[in-house]
Amino acid sequence: MFVLVNLKAYPCDHLEVARAAADVADDTGVRVGVAPQAAHLSAVADTGVETWAQHVSPNDYGSHTGSTLAEAAADAGATGTLLNHSENRLKLADIDGSVQAAERAGLETCVCANNPAQIGAAAALGPDAVAVEPPELIGTGTPVSQADPDVVTGAVDAAAAVDESVDVYCGAGISTGDDVTAASDLGATGVLLASGVAKADDPEAALRDLVSGAK
């Protein structure tokens, strides 16, 4: 299982989380990634943890003020990027463009989506992974694997029907090792989470609990 921690714009200590995630991954052999703010990519990557961007633009080099260029994210040490997160939805053409931009820059891609139908559409764009996250469960602490297991199995089936090589992650409310085990039992090969680590009093303890459920 891949445990990917999205720090969003939470006021957490990104370096504390990054160092903890690097240690937990080293100690356990479980794949753990951290997706910080774009301005923190380089500092997070310097800790040695697998580092993901939260978004990259569909643009190539050029006159695109305010864009997050895929090449710049890769130069800063990112090895992957989320796209189309529920809090940063994109037009279909821009998701496609961002997947291509990320691939051009050598970044792994994970396209987020609300439900199995959108997961099928996202998988058709050829990312490395898709992540199903019901928006109504995000930040609630109620795990999608418990509250809405059908959305996870539906996403696994929808992605497989389009392209069996696309990994399927799930997210929303994931915060414990039991949640990670449940996600794995439903067919997900990774989890995407935020508040369970970013808002934890002890992020390292939260991460150790999470990876204890990884298979």
| Cα torsion through 21, 213, 208, 171, rounded to 10 | 50
Please identify, among the stretches 26-34, 98-106, 165-173, 176-184, the one whose residues bind ligand 13P according to the rule CB under 6 A: 165-173
| Binding-site member from 80, 97, 134, 173 for ligand 13P (CB under 6 A) | 173
Q: What is the Cα–Cα distance from 159 to 188, expressed in whole angstroms? A: 11
Minimum CB distance to ligand 13P smaller for 21 or for 192: 192
Q: Which of 178, 171, 210 is nearest to 194 (CA)?
A: 171
Q: What is the Cα–Cα distance from 77 to 72, expressed in whole angstroms? A: 9
For residue 109, give the DSSP letter. E
Q: What is the Cα–Cα distance from 104 to 38, expressed in whole angstroms? A: 18
Minimum CB distance to ligand 13P smaller for 70 or for 192: 192
Catalytic one of 85, 108, 164, 204: 85
Q: Establish whether 119 is an annotated binding residue.
A: no
| Per-residue contact string for residues 125-164; x = within reach of ligand 13P by CB under 6 A | --------x----xx-------------------------
Q: Which of 113, 111, 43 is nearest to 78 (CA)?
A: 43
| Binding-site member from 196, 200, 203, 210 for ligand 13P (CB under 6 A) | 196
Q: Is 187 an interacting residue with respect to ligand 13P (CB under 6 A)?
A: no
Q: What is the Cα–Cα distance from 215 to 203, expressed in whole angstroms? A: 21
Feature table: binding site for substrate:
6-8, 138, 173, 194-195
Q: Which residues are catalytic?
A: 85, 133
- The contact set with ligand 13P (CB under 6 A) reads 6, 85, 133, 138-139, 171-174, 192-196
